[in-house]
Chains A and B, each alone.
Chain A
Amino acid sequence: MSESLHLNRREFIRASLLGSALLAGGATVASLSGCSSPQSAADGFLHLRPADIEMLTPLVPLLLAGALPNGDADVPRVLQRLDSLLDSPAPAGREALFQLYDVLQMGAFRWWVMDAWAHPAKLSSEQIDQGLGNWSRKQNSFARLAFNGLCQPLMLAWYTDAEIAKSTGYPGPPRKVIT
């Protein structure tokens, strides 16, 4: 996607005051920015698009640091579980999340929330971690809702995996035996 949209930070913050409506079903960021992500899912996925996968792949090891027993090798499994989770929301709820993924494709948005214009794939782990730290501490409601939108589905998708659930010290449920 091109980064032809040159908003300065103040303009973007002003734009983001409309952000809740924007995330919740208003005009897509893609249409605002004059560029658009492919809308079709990547091969092997129900919903996640190639651009989402490209963007999430470098973020997941930082977002789920310590929770990936096989390190980066677990990222595809995380994305598959996230993709399965995203099959359940009503279409409007799913669209809101994809608008967040779209807005994350914008350098201006990343600059605002993470203090980093570059795509996550071009950032070091340290830079991503620092960027996520900045984002997680922002005192702006929209930015924080967006941050939760990024983290919460990943946590729910990952910690409902039986093996990962047990890594918290949870022994697991009883066994149901059907006779």
Chain B
Amino acid sequence: MKDLSKLEIRDIDDPWKNPSANGWAVHDGSQLNADLTLDADVVIIGSGAGGGVSAEILSQAGLRVIIIEAAKLKSSDQFNMDEGEAYRDLYQEGATRASKDGSIAILQGRAVGGTTVVNWTSSFRTPEQTLSYWHDQFGVSGLSRSELDPWFKQMEQRLKVSKWVMPPNANNHALKTGCEALGWSWSVIPRNVDGCWDLGYCGTGCPTNAKQSMLVTTLPSAMNSGATLIHSAEARSLEHDGKRVTAVLCNALDERKRPTGKTVRVTARTFIAAGGGINTPALLLRAAVPDPHQRLGKRTFLHPTTLVLGDFAERVDGYYGAPQSLYSDQFTWRDGVAGAIGYKMEVMPTHPGLITSLIGGYGSMARTQAERLPHYAAAISILRDGFHDESEGGAVELSRHGDGVLDYVLNDYVLEGIRHSHLTMAELLFAAGAERVRAGHGDIPFLSSWKETKQRIASLKYDPGLTGCGSAHVMGGCTMGSDESRALVDNDGRYHHLENLYIFDGSVLPTSLGVNPQLTIYAITARNANLLANRLQG
């Protein structure tokens, strides 16, 4: 692909350039000189996929909405595509978040707009198999294919979701070539973009505002409808009497994300937790909300994600171009819905910080690998966790500082899937023409034959500390369903044990999905926020 480093991006309109000129009510927690107290009809805690969609729907319904966001407002004028700055400013814990034992790196957004600001735009409807599993195993109702599809359609239109029509970059093209050589299925990914420049910087904040993240769609719309945004304010607790929530308490944060000592307290009739997996359960744990069956934070899923690199003779330039445009479901249901763990195959972009830190190693070997960066195709598999008795996911707990920590153990069930996916992706990349392939495991180098790679992977020890694994999809922890002994929220997102608390984010998902989660969160939230708007107006 053409060298894009000489390209200039100019004349991009940033909707957040001058909020007050738009008549928008924006409070920057870091600038507060005194404690702030506000009142609203609805408080939304978090501004990502769930919070953004909720904010638009509820403010357009005429309700007084306040959105609380821990991250500092950052928007397209500041999206300079610098990897390090983006990780620091737009990711949870500066992109260093990990599971408790350190075995799983967790990439999760932390921004006004949440993870939607940094995701790679893949927009899939929830698979039929997953929806049926929720119905059969968790008593989820109202979310069948036919009941949810109108909401998918609405959100796809709202966020300009359509299959990518440009040619895939060479990284994605390798997935197609390999699948075709092996007779495996592949297809084109629907993306939420409008006028995409095909640059490859979705993960550092879209510099052209083509990505239809919450930052440039639902949040500006909510602000136009009178919503208030408080950013740099981290929700730390909820005031409640065991029946109703009365206020949310926040710490104002400075530029380094440390409490300034000033607080924000917002009272309201209705509260929506929308901080996403890990953070929403952590808030509710800190607030000691009623949880009679000890379910808070349990069944948190990650789509454990594995990586295999293919080294091609020609340049791949996998950091340029739409990062994800093709996928394969050849192995997503490889042993049925509830058997051995299945996985969806996609690719990931190959920016230097991300790839060098993920492939591991040290010294001259790591350097030799780094110097081949432009030649790598990077295949990934996202493993469907949560569909089997041996896949209960992880549990969110609180550190001694009160922050959420995810204890997720890579057990034999998941490790078998990691090995299987390594084999599959190595075969795929050799079939696509890679000269050398390396599975994401610390004990295997780049090898030049599929036969040897297959033998080596088969004999490797798979163990949490030895194999590499990551996650970009945190789901669950506040399971929805009708059975109160197993679920925390009902089918409409209302918390079973507090009458005015709702959870509208990925933490309500009873299992992982088998697809990238953003569109599922948009659609379920759109459904539930409309129900809530009707209820509050009724």
Contact = CB atoms under 8 A, between A and B. Distances in A.
A142 interface: yes
B451 interface: no
B400 interface: yes
Interface residues of B, number: 67
Nearest to A65: B363
A164 B357 CA distance: 13
A12 B437 CA distance: 37
User: Which of B353, B401, B405 has the largest count of A CB atoms less than 10 A from its CB?
Assistant: B353
Contacts of B112: none
A106 interface: no
B366 interface: yes
A171 B405 contact: no
B367 A87 contact: no
A125 to B, nearest CB: 11
A65 B364 contact: yes
Contacts of B465: 140-145, 148
Contacts of A96: 102
Given A65-B367, A145-B101, A159 B353 contact: yes
Contact of B96 (A141, A153, A159, A164): A153
A52 to B, nearest CB: 16
Interface in B317-363: 319, 351-353, 356-357, 360-363
B210 interface: no
Nearest to A139: B461
B290 interface: no
A168 B352 contact: yes
A32 interface: no
Contacts of A44: none
Contacts of A65: 362-364, 367
B356 A159 contact: yes
Chief secondary structure at chain B's binding surface: loop
Interface in B219-261: 256-257
Nearest to A145: B465
A88 B96 contact: yes
B370 A88 contact: no
Contacts of B364: 65-66
B463 interface: yes
A93 B96 contact: yes
Contacts of B100: 20, 24-25
Interface stretch (B42-50, B82-90, B264-272, B494-502): B82-90
Interface residues of A, number: 58
A139 B464 CA distance: 11
Given A155-B366, A156-B357, A20 B102 contact: yes
Contacts of A171: 3-5
A151 B79 CA distance: 28
B77 interface: yes
B360 A66 contact: no
B11 interface: yes
Interface in A130-179: 132, 136-137, 139-145, 148-149, 151-153, 155-157, 159-162, 164-165, 167-179
A11 to B, nearest CB: 20
A118 interface: no
A95 B310 CA distance: 36
A92 B96 contact: no
A179 B9 CA distance: 10
Contacts of A90: 93, 97, 399, 401, 403, 405
B371 A168 contact: yes
A88 B351 contact: no
Contact of A136 (B79, B201, B361): B361
Contact of A165 (B8, B256, B352, B442): B352
Contacts of A85: 88, 94, 96
A161 B85 CA distance: 10
Contacts of A93: 93, 96-98
Nearest to A61: B363
B80 interface: yes
A129 interface: yes
A5 B463 CA distance: 30
B361 A151 contact: yes
Given A85-B94, A87-B256, A177-B8, A159 B101 contact: no
Contacts of A160: 82-84, 87, 352-353
Interface in A85-132: 85, 87-93, 96, 129, 132
A80 B94 CA distance: 16
A168 B375 CA distance: 10
B443 interface: yes
B313 to A, nearest CB: 14
B373 interface: yes
Nearest to B94: A88
Given A145-B103, A151-B360, A170-B373, A179 B352 contact: no
Contacts of A29: none
Given A24-B101, A67-B370, A88-B257, A155 B94 contact: no
A174 B370 contact: no
Contacts of B510: none
Given A139-B466, A151-B361, A174-B199, A92 B403 contact: yes
Nearest to A87: B256
A175 B102 contact: no
Nearest to B4: A174
A175 B463 CA distance: 42
A2 to B, nearest CB: 27
Contacts of B351: 165, 170
Contacts of A170: 319, 351-352, 373-374
Contacts of A175: 5-9
B81 interface: yes
Given A174-B201, A176-B207, 11 more contacts: A20-B102, A92-B399, A141-B466, A152-B357, A153-B357, A159-B352, A160-B82, A173-B5, A173-B81, A176-B10, A178-B77
22 contacts: A25-B399, A25-B400, A66-B363, A67-B370, A85-B96, A90-B405, A91-B403, A141-B103, A144-B465, A148-B442, A151-B366, A153-B96, A156-B356, A156-B357, A168-B371, A169-B372, A171-B5, A173-B82, A174-B7, A174-B8, A175-B7, A179-B10
A-B complex: 4 closest residue pairs judged by Cβ atoms? A88-B94, A66-B367, A160-B84, A141-B465
